[in-house]
Structure 1
Amino acid sequence: MENGNKSMNTPTNVTIKGILGTLMASIDEDKKKNLISLGMGDPTAYSCFTTNTVVQDSVVQTLESQRFNGYSPTVGLPQTRKAIAEYLSINLPYKLSEDDVFITAGCTQAIEVAVSILAKPNANILVPKPGFPIYELCAAFRNVEIRHYDLLPNKGWEVDLAAVDALTDHNTVAIVVINPGNPCGNVYSYQHLKKIAETAKRHKILVVADEVYGHLAFGENPFVPMGVFGSMVPVLTLGSLSKRWLVPGWRLGWFVTTDPNGIFKNAKTVERLKKYFDICGGPATFIQAAVPRILEDTKEVFFTRTLCTLKQTSDICFKKIKEIPCFTCPQKPQGAMAVMVKLNVSLLKDIIDDIDFCFKLAKEETVILLPGLTVGLKNWVRITFAAEPSSLEEALDRVKSFYQRHSRQQNGLN
C-alpha cells in the first residue's frame, strides 16, 4: 500500500452503479449461465435477506391512514427525528434530542449534506482508501479537496494514523470514518476508534462517522458508534434504515450532530443546515411516519437472523476465496456485507488489471464482481457476500474455473 497522497484530488470517474451497469451490458444475452452479481451491495436481490412484517406493516399503516400524504417539514417529521434520536442514544453516554437529527433521502444524501456543510474556500476532507466513491463525487461539486489516507489490510483495515497526521493541515476540516467498513468488511475496536478521535481532537477537526452498516457486526469486535467519543471531538453521524432493516430502496437516512459540547452547533451552522434542507427533498412522508414504530417494534430475533446469515455467507466467501490462487484475502470479514480481495495478475496470462479481470469474468462466466479501482485500490476486487449461500458458492466456483482457464501455470494440464 502506498502512503497517503495529497495529490489525489480527482473524483472517481464512475459510480459503483455505473461500472456495474457497464459490466452487465458486456454480458452476452445468449449465455446459458444465470447471472450472479456479487458487485452491488443490495441484499434484497436474494430471498434470504428480507425485511420483517413489522417494517412492512408500519408503512402500510401510515399510508392507509391518509394522514401523511402532504409535505413533511424539510428537516423531517418531528416524531421521526425524535425516534431516531432515542434509537441512537441507546448506545451513547449522553442523550440526543430531535434537534440533533435531520432526515435524509438515504445515507447518500446525508453524505452530500455533510460535504456541503463543511465546504469552505481551500477546505480538504480526509477520506479512506479504499472507500466509498460518493465522497469524491460530492466534493468535486463543492470544490472541496479530497485527501486519501490508507487503510492497512494486514492490520484489520485499521486507519493509518501516521498518514492522517501527514495529510492534515490548517485547511483540513474533517476525517471520514466508515465503520463497519465498506468495502472491506472490517469492524473497528473501541480502542482504535478512540485513537481516531484523539487524532481528530489533536488536529481540531471533526469526524464524519459513516455508519450505514451500523450494528452489522458478527466477528470479534462489537459495533461501537463513533458518537461515543462525541464529548472528545464533534461527530457527524450518518446512517439509514437500508442495511440493518434490509430496505435500501426506501431511501430513509439521517444526518445527526453527535456533539454534546455544542462545538459544531453554533447558530450560524445550524441555520445553514436548515437552509440547506429547505432546498433539498427528503424521503416520502409516509415512510418517515413509519419509522417510530419500525425502530420500537422490530424484534431482536430479526437482527440476529440477519447476522447469522451474514456470518454464514461470509464464512463461505472466505473459504471459497482461499481456493482461488490469484486471490488473497487479508482478513476474514467481520461485518457489513462485502470484502476486499487482492488480485495477483502475474498468475494470469492474459489479464491486464482488475478492470480487465472483471469484464472478462462477466463475459465468460456471467459473474459480476466490483473492480477495486472503483473504490480506490488497483488490482483488488470487492466481493459482496450478502447473497444466497448456493448462489455465492456457484459464483465463486465459476471464478475458480475462470482462473484455471487463464492461469499461466495450467497449459492444459487441468
Structure 2
Amino acid sequence: MENGTTTSRRTWNFKENEKLVSVSDLTVRSVLNKLRCCIDPADTRPIIPLGHGDPSAFPCFRTTPIAEDAVSDAVRSANFNCYSSTVGILPARRAVAEYLSQDLPYKLSPDDIYLTIGCGQAIEILLNALARPNANILLPTPGFPYYEAWGGFTQMEMRHFNLLPEKEWEVDINAVESLADENTVAMVIINPGNPCGNVYSEQHLKKVAEMARKLGILVISDEVYAHLAFGSKPFVPMGIFGSIAPVITLGSISKRWIVPGWRLGWLVTNDPNGILKEHGVIDSIMGYLNISSDPATFIQGAIPQILQETKDDFFSKIVNMLREDADICYERIKDIPCITCPSKPQGSMFVMVQLHLNLLEDIEDDLDFCAKLAREESMLILPGVAVGLKNWLRITFACEPSYLEDGFQRLTAFYQRHAKKQ
C-alpha cells in the first residue's frame, strides 16, 4: 500500500493493435517521415522535396482565386455550418455529377456520387465495403501503397499484377486473368499513373473493361490525377466503359486544383446496368458511410462554384508547368548513369526510374540510397520499395523548375561521390 492505494497490479489489459502498426509502415507518409529524420539539421540548404505529390508549397502551383473565393463565400454565408448528410450535400453531389458527366457517354445522377474526405477515405470506404471472408483484390505493381494498407487492414487477400515498363506501364492483361478466381472482387487501376506517370489509351482501358466482364469483377479506377495529362495521350475516364463492366471511380479536387489539404474527394458508381446495386455493393458503401465521418460541410458548399467557375486557362497553366517539369526531369535523368527511365512521363506528377546498384559503392538498396541521399544532400526521393518495386525510385517533379535543377545537381554530386571506381 502507498498513500492508501494498492500498487500490486503488474499488468494492464491493453496493448497495441499490431495489425494497425504493421500496415501503417506501408504508407508513403511513413517512409518519408523516416527519411526526413535522416536529414542533417546542420545543412543550411533548402530541402528538395521530390518524394511527395504535393506541389502546393510552391508559389507557381497556387490554386485559382476562384476556389479560394468559393470557400470564403461558403463560410461567410453561414449556410454550411451544419452536419452533412451521409453521402454529402445535394448541391455538391449534383455539381460533381455534372462535372464528371462532361467526359462520359451517359449522365451521372447525384445518387451515383458519394463525397469523401479526400481520395484516401474513398479507398478506405470501398475496400471495407468489398471485404468479406476469402475475398481477394488485384492490385498493380508498382502501385499506390494506401491500397495495400487498407487491404491488409480489412484482411482481404491482395494479389499483384505487373505494370509493364517496356509498354509504358500498361496492365499485364494475361497476368490479371491468371491471378483471378471465384473470390476475386475487383482490380485497381490508377490513371494517370501514380507512381509511373503513365496515361492509358482508350483502347487499353477497353481491354481492361472487357477482361473485368469476363472475370465477373468490378474495376476500381483511381483518377485523382484526372486531366493532368501532358503527353501524346489524352486522359480518358474508365467510366466510359461502365456499360461493359461496373466501374467505381475515385477522385478529388486535390491535384487538379492543387489543394490536397482541403480533403474533398468522391466515390462514383459508373454502372448504368445496375449491377452494383443488384449485388449489394451500394448497401455496403452506405453501411460504411453511416459509421464514418464526412468532408467539412463548408468545403462541400464551395464545390459547385469551384467546379463550375474555374477557367480553362488555370488548368492549362498547371498542365504546362507539369509538362515543363517533366521535360526537365526526363532530360536530367539521362545525365546520371546510375538511374534510367523506361518511358517519359505523360501525366500525374511522378516518374519511376530504375536504380543500377552495380554502378554504386556502399549502397545496399533503394531505401539505403534514399536515406543516404537525404543525409548528404537534404533531398527526398521515394524508394521504389514503398510502391512495390524494389531498387527503383519514384521522383516527384511537380515543383519550381529551379528546385528541380538544384535537386538534379545534388543527385549528380551524390552519384559521383558513390560511383564505383573503375
TM-score normalised by length of structure 1: 0.95
Among 319, 329, 344, which residue is 2:356 paired with? Answer: 344
Change over 3 Å in CA distance of 1:12–1:391 after alignment to 2: same
Query: Residues 285-343 of structure 1, C-alpha deviation per residue, up to 9 Å, x if partnerless?
Result: 00001001110000000000000000000000000111000000000010000110000
Among 72, 75, 93, which residue is 1:60 paired with? Answer: 72
Aligned partner of residue 321 in structure 2, secondary structure: helix
Among 296, 299, 317, which residue is 1:287 paired with? Answer: 299
Cα root mean square deviation, aligned: 1.1
Aligned to 1:354: 366
Maintained 8 Å contact 2:126/2:285: no
State the 1:267 CA deviation: 7.8
Aligned to 1:366: 378
Aligned partner of residue 264 in structure 1, secondary structure: helix
Among 139, 157, 161, which residue is 2:173 paired with? Answer: 161
Aligned partner of residue 369 in structure 1, secondary structure: strand
Q: Which amino acid aligns with 1:228?
A: I
Aligned partner of residue 138 in structure 2, secondary structure: strand
Deviates more, 1:346-355 or 1:260-269: 260-269
Among 277, 286, 299, which residue is 1:265 paired with? Answer: 277
Cα distance in 1 for residues equivalent to 2:232 and 2:272 = 29
Cα distance in 2 for residues equivalent to 1:151 and 1:360 = 28
Aligned partner of residue 281 in structure 1, secondary structure: coil
Cα distance in 2 for residues equivalent to 1:270 and 1:205 = 15
Aligned to 2:197: 185
Cα distance in 1 for residues equivalent to 2:65 and 2:47 = 29
| Structure 1: runs of 5+ lacking an equivalent | 1-9
Superposition pairs of residues 381-396 of structure 1, within 5 angstroms: 381-396=393-408
Aligned to 2:337: 325
Number of aligned positions between the proteins = 401
Change over 3 Å in CA distance of 1:12–1:195 after alignment to 2: farther
| Structure 2: runs of 5+ lacking an equivalent | 1-21
Q: Which amino acid aligns with 1:163?
A: A
Cα distance in 1 for residues equivalent to 2:175 and 2:400 = 38
TM-score normalised by length of structure 2: 0.93
Larger radius of gyration: 2
Cα distance in 2 for residues equivalent to 1:323 and 1:267 = 53
Superposition pairs of residues 298-313 of structure 1, within 5 angstroms: 298-313=310-325
1:35 counterpart = 2:23: no
State the 1:389 CA deviation: 0.2
State the 1:103 CA deviation: 0.3
Query: Residues 216-244 of structure 1, C-alpha deviation per residue, up to 9 Å, x if partnerless?
Result: 00001100000000000000000000000
Aligned to 1:118: 130
Cα distance in 2 for residues equivalent to 1:302 and 1:234 = 33
Cα distance in 2 for residues equivalent to 1:52 and 1:185 = 24
Cα distance in 2 for residues equivalent to 1:157 and 1:310 = 19
Aligned partner of residue 294 in structure 2, secondary structure: coil
Q: Which amino acid aligns with 1:36?
A: I
Cα distance in 2 for residues equivalent to 1:263 and 1:271 = 12
1:235 counterpart = 2:238: no
State the 1:283 CA deviation: 1.1
Among 150, 153, 169, which residue is 1:141 paired with? Answer: 153
